[in-house]
Amino acid sequence: MMAPRAPRPRYVPILALPYWGTIGPFVESAVAECMQVGERRERDLFAAATPMVLWAWQSRGASLQRRKIFRRSMIEQFIHLGMPGSPPGTQATYRSALWRMTEILNPAGLLGGHRPIPRSQPTSPYSTEEIAELYSWAKAQGTPARCRNALALLCFGLGAGLATRELLDVRDTDISIDIDAHGDFAARVVVWRDRPRVVPFRTEWTRTLATVMTGAAGQGWVFRPGRTSTSPGQVTDFLTRNRTQLDVRPSRMRTTWLLEHLTEGMPAADLLTISGLQNYAALDKIAALRPQPFGSKKSLKNF
């Protein structure tokens, strides 16, 4: 006789947990119906629908009815007013999921236009003090696994300047670490996604990376091993469960990494190669974040 199959883990809405008894049945019903179409992952639907429903119910006093919640005007209000500080990429991801849910649950609610999400501007880099706070935050995680994941996030972001979708794809076999005769570490990571390249880690992060990799060998994905797939929300989910007040963002880590290399005088052409950026204009925007002008007023292409 076969053993009964273990029940599928329920979605745990960390931030909405105090209100789940009220909004939970509504959200679960909506997600269940959308899952019958089978185009989106259940967790991605929950990640977008839960904060939107909570915001609409709390901030707009909307009743828990599909025609009131799942409509274009409510989605647009949530995207532009209910997600302060969220990166444009996250806003676009949530909007896409919510539109698809509305197409299924309340097609008439999609009538009308929408406001464009503004183009992202370079995020401000972390200061030395803020980097120290991030490192302390990572080391203070409640379990060894969470500590290793947090340190991996910092190594990939501040040490190699990887974008969120890139760091999620890194496997243990993509990283090489060498030790010279003086005991100094040198590390590189191979990025396979849209912009294939080999990226050297900044020296100050190689020892931390070596510590991370001692527990990552044979685990497959380095950040949050044990996953069966990758999605941008996996970083957000990890950070949400920690409930830190610090601004922990891979995009801001990448900006810091780029600016550090520019400040140290790395040739712009070389930085384009290891960063995966396509043009000098992108580096011009990063260089403009320096407290003092970088070089002359000329474009970095002239360096």
CA dihedral angle for residue 12, residue 222, residue 96, residue 18, rounded to 10 degrees? 20
Instruction: Tell me, yes or no, whether 76 and 215 share the same domain.
Output: no
Domain range for 146:
128-287
What is the total count of domains within the chain? 2
Q: For the chain, which ranges sit under pLDDT 50?
A: 1-9, 117, 292-303
Dmax over CA atoms of the chain, in Å, equals: 77
Residue closest to 74 by CA, chosen among 86, 62, 64? 62
Residue closest to 250 by CA, chosen among 159, 170, 186? 159
For residue range 231-249, list pLDDT tens digits in order.
767 888 888 777 678 888 8
In angstroms, rounded to a whole number, what is the distance separating the alpha carbons of residues 230 and 191?
15
30 within some domain: yes
Q: Which of 79, 110, 141 is the last residue of a domain?
A: 110
Instruction: Tell me, yes or no, whether 262 and 159 share the same domain.
Output: yes
Instruction: Tell me, yes or no, whether 148 and 105 share the same domain.
Output: no
In angstroms, rounded to a whole number, what is the distance separating the alpha carbons of residues 252 and 126?
7
Exposed/middle/buried for residue 171 (C-beta within 10 Å: 0-12, 13-18, 19+): middle
Look up the CATH number of the domain holding residue 190: 1.10.443.10
166 Cβ contact partners less than 8 Å away, ≥ 6 residues apart: 156, 191, 193, 195, 276
293 within some domain: no
Instruction: Tell me, yes or no, whether 177 and 277 share the same domain.
Output: yes
pTM of the predicted structure, to 2 decimals: 0.59
| Residue 58, number of CB atoms within 10 A of its CB | 13
3 within some domain: no
64 within some domain: yes
Predicted pLDDT at 50? 92
Instruction: Tell me, yes or no, whether 178 and 217 share the same domain.
Output: yes
